[in-house]
């Protein structure tokens, strides 16, 4: 089981890859480097984000991050084989609650941003690749945080669909816990658990 701090950084990493339309055709590693640095810089300069202002973080995520994440693929992968058993309404609820969970966790991670910087590692890929892994380190006080991003090439640019921190992939980590919840209470049981978790984490949705 991951520590709360590591889970925060996993979720933060998932949402850290943001980009404006002008970055859509940028090489994936340079995209990660540029826009994640900009998000860190924005967090350093905004005291309300550092304080964990969920509304402000949500606005940042909706405007800049979510358009560059294949969130349906991420949620479907986390739910695993049960995704196809879910109704369209259940799938929408799962995406909504999973996103709220990550945004609230992201708020906690951004509140800890002070002097971190992003460093790229060499990337092994070819121009023909449609899926790549971008490896980075978040450096600041303490040990570097290892972050690996999985991105896919879509018609409108590169999109992230999974992230690895310290050897653990986000989707796989949530898939294991989600499977337990579904086994105990079905799809609706998982949705109810996510709603409960989100409310306890932030006092309800903003």
30: domain CATH number is 3.10.450.710
At residue 16 the predicted structure's pLDDT band, cuts being 50, 70 and 90, is low
pTM: 0.77
DSSP state of 62: I
* 149: its two tokens: 């991003």
Distance CA 69, CA 195 (A): 22
Which pairs with CB-CB distance under 8 Å and at least 24 residues apart come from 1-10? 2/168, 2/173, 6/165, 6/166, 6/168, 7/105, 7/173, 8/105, 8/106, 8/108, 8/109, 8/112, 9/109, 9/138, 9/145, 9/147, 9/165, 10/163, 10/165, 10/168, 10/170, 10/173
Question: How much of the chain exceeds pLDDT 70, in percent?
Answer: 83
- Three-state DSSP class for residue 115: coil
Q: Is the per-residue pLDDT at 60 higher than 90?
A: no
User: Average pLDDT, whole number, for the chain?
Assistant: 82
Average pLDDT (123-145) is 88
**Owning domain of residue 83:** 4-202
Average pLDDT (182-186) is 96
Q: Is the per-residue pLDDT at 24 higher than 60?
A: no
Q: Is the per-residue pLDDT at 98 higher than 70?
A: yes
Q: What pLDDT does residue 20 have? A: 43
At residue 204 the predicted structure's pLDDT band, cuts being 50, 70 and 90, is very low
At residue 180 the predicted structure's pLDDT band, cuts being 50, 70 and 90, is very high
| CA nearest neighbour of 71 among 197, 178, 162, 168 | 162
- Three-state DSSP class for residue 74: helix
Q: How many domains does the chain have?
A: 1
Q: Is the per-residue pLDDT at 59 higher than 90?
A: no
Average pLDDT (148-170) is 88
What count of other Cβ atoms lies within 10 Å of the Cβ of residue 163? 27
């Amino acid at each position: 089981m991951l520590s709360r701090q590591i889970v925060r950084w996993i979720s933060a990493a998932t949402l850290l890859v943001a980009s404006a339309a002008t970055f859509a055709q940028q090489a994936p590693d340079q995209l990660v480097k540029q826009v994640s640095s900009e998000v860190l810089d924005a967090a350093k300069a905004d005291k309300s984000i550092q304080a964990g202002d969920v509304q402000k973080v949500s606005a940042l995520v909706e405007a800049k991050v979510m358009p560059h994440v294949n969130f349906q693929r991420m949620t479907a992968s986390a739910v695993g084989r049960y995704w196809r058993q879910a109704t369209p309404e259940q799938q929408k609820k799962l995406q909504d609650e999973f996103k709220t969970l990550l945004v609230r966790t992201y708020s906690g991670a951004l509140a800890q941003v002070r002097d971190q910087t992003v460093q790229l590692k060499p990337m092994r890929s070819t121009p023909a690749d449609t899926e790549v892994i971008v490896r980075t380190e978040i450096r600041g006080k303490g040990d570097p945080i290892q972050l690996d991003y999985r991105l896919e090439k879509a018609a409108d640019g590169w999109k992230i669909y999974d992230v690895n921190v310290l050897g653990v992939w986000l989707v796989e980590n949530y898939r294991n816990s989600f499977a337990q919840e579904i086994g105990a209470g079905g799809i609706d049981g998982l949705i109810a658990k996510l709603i409960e978790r989100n409310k306890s984490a932030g006092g309800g949705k903003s």
